[in-house]
């Protein structure tokens, strides 16, 4: 069973008088241990699609299933709980909190959850992405690649089913980007997590299990399945 599934999803925006369909009857699914890449030119609806998968946005039409449950009509608070327990995010700009150390940044999603102590897991994850010697560094003491690895560790802290990556290599040079992608490929198997990445970087296609090509909100090609 797919861990995340979009069925016939439409997303329309009102832009002044005009109604724009950012997504136009889109189907999508991803499984655990699989890396799916959504590729397309800018403005094609990639980010909107990622927001749907990440439960940050709700569709105008169609349904969203998470782990077989229909979450389409969930309230914002219910969606927050789902994101907290099941979804990890990696952003293009890393989005680490500057006043927290690497370990604290990784712990952040579980910070308010006083019932569990994720400190050891945070350190373990940082070890695994090769930052065992940078645990107490703040983001401004880390390079771009290191920051993105902290962000990946953060995305995995709550043992999610899905890891979403929005242009994860967008702000990195080619070599660093490749290292990050290798890292992700390894983690998706270790953690048995579905990775959904959005990019317009063709380099990523070498690492993915399947690719969804999006143009003007319409899926034009699905490859690798």
Partner 1 sequence: MSVVDFLWRFPSVQMAWRNLGRNKLRTMLAALGIIIGVVSICSLGMATAAIQQQATSQLGSIGNEVSITSGQDSDTDGVTDDQVDTIRNLVTDAEVVPQKTNSTTISSRNGREVRVSVTGVTNAAALYNLTSGEAPSRLLSGALLSNSTATTLGIEEGDPVEYDGQLYRVQGLIEEENAFGFGGGELVLPESGLSDQNHYNTVTVVAEDSSTATEIGGELNQYFNTEDEEELSINTFGNAGQVGGFLETLSLALLAIGGISLVVASVAILNVMLMSTVERRGEIGVLRAVGIRRSEVLRMILTEAALMGTLGGLVGATLSLAAGLVIFQMITGDPLGALQWSSAQYLVYGFGFAVVASVLSGVYPAWKAANDRPVDALRG
Instruction: Spell out, one character per residue from 157 to 186, where the chain touches partner 1: x when CB under 8 A holds, - when not.
Output: -x----------------------------
106-125 residues near partner 1, rule: CB under 8 A: 108-109, 111-112, 114
Q: Identify the CA nearest to 198 among candidates 51, 38, 52.
A: 38
DSSP state letters, 46-90? HHHHHHHHTTSS--SEEEEEETTEE-TT--HHHHHHHHHHHEEEE
Using CB atoms within 10 Å of the CB of residue 195, give its burial: 0 to 12 exposed, 13 to 18 middle, 19+ buried. Answer: buried
Q: In what order do the strands lie in the sheet with 210-215?
A: 87-90, 162-166, 194-199, 35-39, 210-215, 218-223
Is residue 59 at the binding interface for partner 1, with CB under 8 A as the rule? Answer: no
Rg over CA atoms, the chain: 17
Of 73-81, 141-149, 173-181, 183-191: span binding partner 1 (CB under 8 A): 73-81
Which among 93-101, 177-185, 188-196, 210-218 is the span making contact with partner 1, rule CB under 8 A?
A: 93-101
Q: Rule CB under 8 A: choose which of 54, 59, 145, 217 binds partner 1.
A: 54
- Please report how close the Cβ of residue 202 comes to partner 1 at its closest, in angstroms: 25
Q: Applying CB under 8 A, which residues contact partner 1? A: 51, 54, 56-57, 76-77, 80-81, 83-85, 87-89, 91, 95, 97-100, 108-109, 111-112, 114, 154-155, 158
């Amino acid at each position: 069973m797919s861990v995340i599934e979009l069925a016939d999803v439409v997303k329309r925006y009102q832009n002044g008088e005009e109604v724009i369909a950012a997504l136009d009857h889109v189907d999508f699914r991803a499984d655990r241990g699989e890396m799916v890449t959504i590729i397309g030119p800018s403005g094609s609806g990639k980010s909107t699609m990622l927001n749907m998968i990440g439960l940050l946005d709700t569709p105008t039409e169609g349904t969203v299933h998470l782990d077989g449950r229909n979450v389409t009509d969930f309230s914002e608070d219910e969606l927050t709980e789902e994101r907290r327990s099941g979804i990890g995010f990696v952003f293009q700009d890393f989005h680490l909190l500057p006043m927290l150390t690497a370990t604290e940044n990784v712990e952040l999603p579980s910070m308010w959850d006083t019932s569990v102590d994720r400190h050891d897991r945070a350190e373990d994850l940082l070890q695994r992405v090769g930052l065992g010697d940078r645990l107490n560094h703040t983001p401004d003491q880390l390079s771009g690649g290191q920051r993105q690895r902290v962000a990946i560790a953060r995305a995995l802290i709550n043992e999610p089913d899905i890891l979403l990556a929005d242009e994860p290599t967008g702000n990195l040079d080619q070599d660093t980007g490749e290292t990050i992608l290798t890292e992700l490929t390894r983690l998706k198997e270790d953690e048995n997590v579905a990775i959904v990445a959005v990019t317009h970087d063709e380099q990523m296609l070498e690492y993915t299990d399947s690719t969804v090509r999006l143009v003007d909100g319409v899926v034009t090609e699905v490859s690798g399945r």
